[in-house]
Structures are given as structure tokens and as C-alpha cells.
Chain A
């Protein structure tokens, strides 16, 4: 298990490295502080949302409301948090709490998460529309400063990605509570027998996911300086793809936070790479799909070679 677990991370790293090398080869000028920052700038909110999705997938559920919820968090950040910081912060905390409650309800009533989050995506989308009927709002100054800070040597996006990966790795893989959480995905009954409350753990997983989604919305506003109700809709699919690309499995609590962050970086880079290719815009989306299939095919070869997974 340890052998496989350690090698699971190799493929995401290799895919990212290959894509990065190809990008630099196509566009050598991107190989600079400024270039790398530009390539990975939008990766920070995507990485945060991917971590959130990973936390849900970790407990054997799936979240189809990520895009709508991140959009709502972005709208709250660009309006309430900017105009009345205290009230805005309370609303964002309320959203995190709502996610935790959702997790508890899904477990208590044995509801299918895919449907509940599907329904919630309407609710979040509607709330965002009520809050911000037309694109607008403004980013609070401190978030803008934080997202555009220029640390020495390494660009902010890379520092943030490493930070996110390190924190979630400690939380999910190294800590006791993280092991319990992964246990819920692996064998919920065993966790319950050993004295853990599956309901509380699921609420915790969902609450953490809500927190990371809120952070994703805030980071997104910091980059774009304004928001609209549909700003992050594609995050639902991106986050699921990022988790799988990073070596996660849909069932069994087998996830990798580091892999998920790398998966998010790969997806962001794929978009930049395709625009460097001067591919006709018609094929941009399709080529992203092809890259996704290619990487996952590589994973198949990989798992076969290293024995049954």
C-alpha cells in the first residue's frame, strides 16, 4: 500500500512537468518570474475549489454545486465583504456552516449527495443572482493586495499552490482527524464501530469543503477585481477533473491533496498551452478534453505496470 501510495503522486507530477516543458519550448519567454506568474495566476482559486471537491469525494460523495457556490462566495466578497466587512465575513461564515449542515443532513437522511448538491446549485446560483443581478462589485483592497503580492524569487501563484498543498496534506494525510475522515470514505461502518461519529465527520468534511470554496471565491475576486453570478460555473467540472487527474479515486477515501493541487495546476496550464499552440478557438475546449483523456490513459498504463491497484 505504501509503495503504491507513494507512487500515485508520480504521474500527476510527470504530466505537469511534461506540459510545462512543452509550454516553455513553445514560448521560451514564459520561462521567467512574470511569465510563470501569468501562466498560473488563475490556478489559485481552481486549486482551492479542487481541494474542496477532494474533501467531498474523500467521504464518497460528489459535489455538483461547486461552481455555483464559488460564484456566490465571489459575489458576497465583491459586494457585502467590500461594503460592510463584518457583515460580509458573517455571511461567508454562514455559508461555510450551511455546507456543514448539508453534510450532516445528507448523512442523517441517507440522501444521494449528487442530487442534493444538484438542487443546492440552483439555490446558490439564485442567491448569487439576487445579490448581484448584473456583473459588478469590487474586490476588497486587502484581498487584491494579497493576490498580487510579489514575493522574491518565486511567483505568488506557485507559493500559494505549495502552501495549499502543504496545509491540506498535513490536515488530511498526517493528522488524526484526517485519517478518520478518509476512513469514512474507506469504511464508514468501521469508523462508527470504533467510536467515531460518522455524521460529525461528514459535517466536518463538508464544512471544510465549504471553507475552501469560500476561499476560492475570495481568491477569484482578488484576481478579477469584480464578480458576477456565473463567474465560476466551470469550476464544478474543473474541480472533479482536477481531483481525478491528481490520482484521487471516486470511492474508498483514496485522495491526494498534493495531487489535487497539481491536477488543478495542470488543467490551468493546459488552457495556456493551447493558446500558445495557436489552435483555432473552435478546438480549445476539445483539446482540453483530449489532454484529460490522454493523462488518464497514462494513469491506466501506470497502474497496470505497478501491479493491481
Chain B
């Protein structure tokens, strides 16, 4: 039991379960299935970008990707435009979204490595350009995703949303890479002490390069899925994922100072972020109060997590 409590990811799952229970208790148990289904659907998007952000934050202080929303929008827009609602183009659209992610990752890292810009500023400035590209290519059109793709992204398999399966598969891959592969060990070592890692022979810049590629590709994939899920790409579709991606990493128990990441926690935090909003909604909190409470809860969890860390 104490071993379980010591796991940093347990807290985000407990918080998610509590928010779920409080919401469902209001209706006396009705709608529990629908709520869980919605949480898994919407949580999947936050979880996938959150895992990307987690990898970057694990690289150590100052590493964060602020271009995630713009990347999502650009990938979603370009993919849907290329597919043009034609059936049988889903694979091509996916390839385009992933290619957008790769391109963005390359550009971001070029700014960080070649121009020595701090990652916050580099990804921030570059995201303005990606956003412009998306605006330019979108031109107010709303192109529907091809039917098969729309059915997949809103559909379910074994009572679980398909997007949640995708998110789960990515979580497993990220976990294996982080915990069981050399590259994952290199990433952790770089985040804990970059200088020591370099002296120990870790190819630090290659690790950073791969990480910035990975986060952008995951953002591109999320943009593709989200645009298909919501029936078309919108210019503001990525907006809320900037704060969301950072929040789920921290609530999930990863260290914001880098070097320690936590895959299951990200998923728990993603579910929690959706559930807490629906809980406040079902208790009839007005929009302003809902935001205040969401912020207070985030800070509360961060404080709880930090005092636990101090004691151990």
C-alpha cells in the first residue's frame, strides 16, 4: 500500500476518480458510462500532446514546447485540406499531418541548436509563423474529414473510444522507450544533469533533437485526430492545449525541473482535467467560478505533490 502511495502517478488518478464520483453522485449514478466515455475521448487528445510535452520538459530546466497549439492547427488544417473529404485518403492525410510534425520539429530544433535561442522563445516565435501558415492555408474553409476517418475518430471499439486506444498505444510506446530503452535512459540523464550526461558519453544534442521531433510529431497527430473528431479543422482548435499540455505533465507527477517523467500520471491528469470541468458544470458553477476553481485545484495538487516530495 505504501509503495502504491509513493508512486507519483497515483495522485492524478485519485483526483480523477474523486471528480468522477462527485459528478456521478449528483445524478445518482445515471450517466456514469457516458461521462467515462466522454472523459476518455477528450482526455485522449490532452494525453497525447501531454506525453510530448512531458518528454520535452524531462530534458531539463528551460525546455518546453510552446508551439504545440500552432502545430496541431497547422497539421489538422493541411491534412484536411489535402484529403478534401474524399474517401480513401485517410492514410495520406495522416502522412501529411506527421510530415508537418516532423517539419515543425526540425525547424524548432534548428532555431534552438543553430541559433542558440532559449527553447521558450524559439518555439514561441516559430509558433507565430506556423499559425500564420495555418491561417493562410485555411482561408475560412471548413472541410469535412472523409467519412471513414470521421467514423473512426468518433467511433468505439470494445466500448472504448478509438482515440483513447490510440492514446493508450502511444502511452505504452512512450513508457517502453523511456523505461526500457537506451534512448530513454539518455533522455533522463540529460534532464538530470546535462553536463554530467555529456561527459558520460551521452549524445546530448541528438537526444534533444529526437525529443523536439517527437513532441512535434505527437502534436501533429493530435491535430489530425482532433480535426477529424470535431468534423473539421478550426484556427483556434489548438488554443486550450498550450496550458493543458503543461498542466497534465505537472499534475501527472513528472518533475517540472526535468529528469523524471511519468507516463501513467499524464493519462490520469488528462482525465482529471476533463472531469473537473464537467463536475463544476454539473454543479452549475458559472464560467468565471469554474475557472477560479480549476486554477485553485491545479495549484492545490502541485502543493500537495511538493510537500510529499519534501517529506520523503
Query: Using a CB–CB distance below 8 Å, which chain A residues touch chain B?
Result: 62, 64, 109-112, 114-116, 118-131, 133, 229, 237, 240-241, 244, 250-251, 280, 282-290, 292-293, 296-297, 300
- List B residues 132-151 near A (Cβ within 8 Å): 132-133, 135-136
* Cβ-neighbour of A109 out of B120, B127, B130, B307 (below 8 A): B307
B159, CB-defined interface residue at 8 Å: no
Q: B283-312: contact bitstring with A at CB < 8 Å (1 yes, 0 no)?
A: 000111111111110110011001100100
Query: Across chains A and B, which 5 residue pairs bring their CB atoms closest together, nearest first?
Result: A286-B132, A126-B291, A289-B128, A122-B295, A129-B288
Number of A-B residue pairs, CB cutoff 8 Å, is 140
Pairs A–B under 8 Å by Cβ, sample size 19: A114-B246, A115-B246, A115-B302, A116-B299, A120-B299, A123-B299, A125-B295, A126-B291, A131-B288, A241-B125, A250-B120, A282-B135, A283-B136, A289-B126, A289-B127, A289-B132, A293-B111, A293-B115, A293-B122
Q: Which residue of B lies closest to A126 (CB)?
A: B291
Chain B residue, CB-CB nearest to A131: B288
Complex: how many Å from CA A115 to CA B246?
Answer: 8
**Contacts of B66 on A, CB cut-off 8 Å?**
237
Min distance, Cβ A278 to any Cβ of chain B, angstroms: 16
Contact B133 A286 (CB under 8 A): yes
Complex: chain B residue closest to A115, CB-CB? B250
* The one of A110, A118, A121, A290 that contacts B310, using a Cβ cutoff of 8 Å: A110
Contacts of B290 in A (CB 8 A): 126
Q: Is B299 touching A119 in the complex (CB atoms < 8 A)?
A: yes
Q: Is B62 an interface residue (CB 8 A)?
A: yes
Do residues B132 and A285 form an inter-chain contact, with CB atoms below 8 A?
yes
Indicate if the CB atoms of A109 and B128 lie closer than 8 Å. Answer: no
Asked whether B124 lies within 8 Å of A241 as measured between CB atoms, the reply is yes
Total number of B residues with any Cβ neighbor in A under 8 Å: 48
A250 to B310, Cβ gap below 8 A? no
**Partner among B127, B288, B306 whose Cβ is within 8 Å of the Cβ of A133:** B288
In the bound complex, what is the Cα–Cα distance between A119 and B121 (angstroms)? 21
Known: A244-B121, A289-B126. 15 other contacts (CB 8 A): A109-B303, A110-B306, A111-B303, A111-B306, A115-B256, A121-B243, A123-B292, A126-B295, A131-B288, A229-B288, A244-B118, A280-B136, A285-B132, A286-B130, A292-B128
Closest chain A CB from B296 CB (angstroms):
6
A98 to chain B, nearest CB (A): 12
Structural contact, A120 and B303, CB atoms closer than 8 A? no
**B129: Cβ under 8 A from any A Cβ:** yes
Contact A296-B246, Cβ < 8 Å, known A119-B295, A123-B296: no
**Contact among B64, B116, B131, B292 for A122, CB-based, below 8 A:** B292
Residue among B66, B131, B302, B307 facing the most chain A CB atoms (10 A cut-off): B302
Residues of B within 8 A of A126 (CB): 287-295
CB-contact partner of A119 in B118, B302, B310, under 8 A? B302
How far apart are the CA atoms of A124 and B70 in the complex, in Å? Answer: 24
Known: A120-B295, A121-B243, A286-B129. A130 touches B289 (CB 8 A): yes
In the complex, what distance in Å separates the CA atom of A237 from the CA atom of B242? 12
When distances are taken between beta carbons in the complex, the residues of chain A under 8 Å from B121 are 240-241, 244, 292, 296
Is the CB–CB distance between B286 and A109 below 8 Å?
no
Knowing A121-B243, A129-B288, A289-B125, the reply to whether A300 touches B116 (Cβ < 8 A) is yes
> From A129, which residue of chain B is reached at the shortest CB distance?
B288
Q: Within the assembled complex, what's the spacing in Å between the Cα atoms of A111 and B125?
A: 27
**B298 engages A118 (CB within 8 Å):** yes
B173 in the interface (beta carbon within 8 A) = no
Tell me if B247 counts as interface (CB < 8 A to partner A): yes
